[in-house]
């Protein structure tokens, strides 16, 4: 790692101005502005094809904007060696799974701390890496799976191991692309609890979470970006952004958005029946 590239103290985790992404002549992101202060967290919501994954790929430095400026952890893309910046950015996506070897959980998580997806068994001879791996696994409640092979894990277990992999390299910015995909209700609720704890860790990473369902939003999440057709439709404090009108408009469906007393959100379709009983 290039030691000169470290997250700039006090700098926003993300500062994007007027980002466009054009691929094969198609504009996928259009004029996106985004500010995520260090230590704050952002959820990105929007329909299929809105550009959510594309935005995360930009923040992961896997893709570059066609136009506009992007600063990550205080470093401007184009002026910084992205290979030196990447170790500070964790990216969790099922799309990365094919890169992973079917080795033990402990070895894969320990390998992530040195940026390897196929680490040699010798990583387990490094006490610092093994300790970092156990700590990361404990943070997401799956240290008991340390000796299991990855491909034997359930979807929910694997998802938490993916997050532990990302945490093992102590990222300043953690990007989660649909971490709830494929989880059953129990797995979803466990992951919401894990994320709520992560979001309130004093030295934890800034988290950008892409998700499809309001029910999956951790209660500690306070900012939301709504994307539709590559445009930022709304961005700001969660109570101002997640209104029934705005969410209905973005998903092109009449929806009633409710925040429960415990801080969890949900969206349900507006039907004649729930209109009749006064639910909307």
Please state the closest distance from residue 39 (CB atom) to ligand ATP, in A.
25
Please state the closest distance from residue 28 (CB atom) to ligand ATP, in A.
4
Nearer Cβ to ligand ATP (67/275):
67
How would DSSP label each residue in 185-198? HHHHHHHHHHHHHH
Please state the closest distance from residue 84 (CB atom) to ligand ATP, in A.
26
- The answer to whether the beta carbons of residues 171 and 205 sit under 8 Å apart is yes
The C-alpha atoms of residue 217 and residue 201 are separated, in whole angstroms, by 17
Please state the closest distance from residue 19 (CB atom) to Mg ion, in A.
17
Please state the closest distance from residue 50 (CB atom) to Mg ion, in A.
8
The C-alpha atoms of residue 213 and residue 24 are separated, in whole angstroms, by 30
Q: How many residues touch Mg ion (CB under 5 A)? A: 2
- The answer to whether the beta carbons of residues 180 and 94 sit under 8 Å apart is no
Binds 185: which of ligand ATP, Mg ion, none (CB < 5-8 Å by kind):
none
Choosing from 11, 17, 40, 53, the residue that interacts with Mg ion (CB under 5 A) is: 53
Binds 88: which of ligand ATP, Mg ion, none (CB < 5-8 Å by kind):
none
Here's the x/- map for ligand ATP, 22-61, by CB under 6 A: it reads as -xx-x-x-----------------x-xxxxxxx-------
The C-alpha atoms of residue 168 and residue 123 are separated, in whole angstroms, by 13
If one asks whether residue 246 binds Mg ion (CB under 5 A), the answer comes out as no
Close Cβ partners of 23 (under 8 Å, ≥ 6 residues apart): none
Please state the closest distance from residue 152 (CB atom) to ligand ATP, in A.
27
Nearer Cβ to ligand ATP (135/248):
248
Binds 28: which of Mg ion, ligand ATP, none (CB < 5-8 Å by kind):
ligand ATP
Element (H, E) at 199: helix 185-199
Stretch that binds ligand ATP, among 21-29, 148-156, 234-242, 271-279 (CB under 6 A): 21-29
Residue with tokens 């209109």: 275
E-strand spans in the chain? 14-23, 26-36, 42-45, 67-72, 75-76, 89-92, 173-177, 206-210, 223-228, 231-237, 255-259, 265-269
Sign of CA dihedral 22, 28, 30, 35: negative
Site for Mg ion, rule CB under 5 A: 52-53
Query: Which residues contact ligand ATP by CB under 6 A?
Result: 23-24, 26, 28, 46, 48-54
């Amino acid at each position: 790692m290039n030691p000169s590239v470290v997250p700039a103290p006090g700098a926003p985790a993300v500062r994007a101005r007027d980002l466009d992404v054009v691929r094969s002549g198609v504009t996928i992101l259009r004029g996106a502005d985004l500010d995520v202060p260090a230590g704050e967290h952002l959820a990105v919501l929007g329909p299929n094809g809105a550009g959510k994954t594309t935005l995360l790929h930009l923040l992961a430095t896997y893709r570059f904007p066609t136009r506009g400026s992007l600063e990550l952890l205080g470093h401007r893309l184009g002026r910084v060696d992205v290979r030196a910046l990447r170790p500070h950015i964790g990216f969790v996506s099922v799309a990365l799974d094919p890169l992973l070897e079917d080795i033990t959980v402990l070895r894969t998580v320990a390998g992530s701390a040195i940026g390897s997806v196929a680490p040699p068994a010798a990583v387990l001879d490094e006490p610092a890496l093994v300790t970092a791996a156990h700590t990361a696994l404990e943070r997401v409640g799956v240290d008991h799976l340390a000796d299991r092979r990855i491909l034997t894990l359930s979807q929910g277990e694997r998802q938490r191991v993916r997050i532990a992999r990302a945490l093992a390299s102590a990222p300043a910015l953690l990007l989660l692309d649909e971490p709830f995909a494929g989880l059953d209700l129990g797995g979803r609720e466990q992951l919401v609890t894990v994320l709520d704890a992560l979001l309130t860790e004093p030295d934890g990473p800034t988290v950008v979470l892409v998700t499809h369902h309001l029910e999956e939003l951790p209660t500690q999440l306070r900012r939301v970006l709504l994307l539709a057709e590559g445009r930022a439709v709304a961005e700001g404090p969660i109570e101002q952004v997640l209104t029934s009108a705005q969410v209905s408009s973005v998903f092109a469906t009449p929806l009633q958005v409710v925040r429960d007393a415990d801080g969890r959100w949900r969206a349900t379709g507006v039907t004649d029946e729930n209109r009749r009983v006064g639910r909307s």
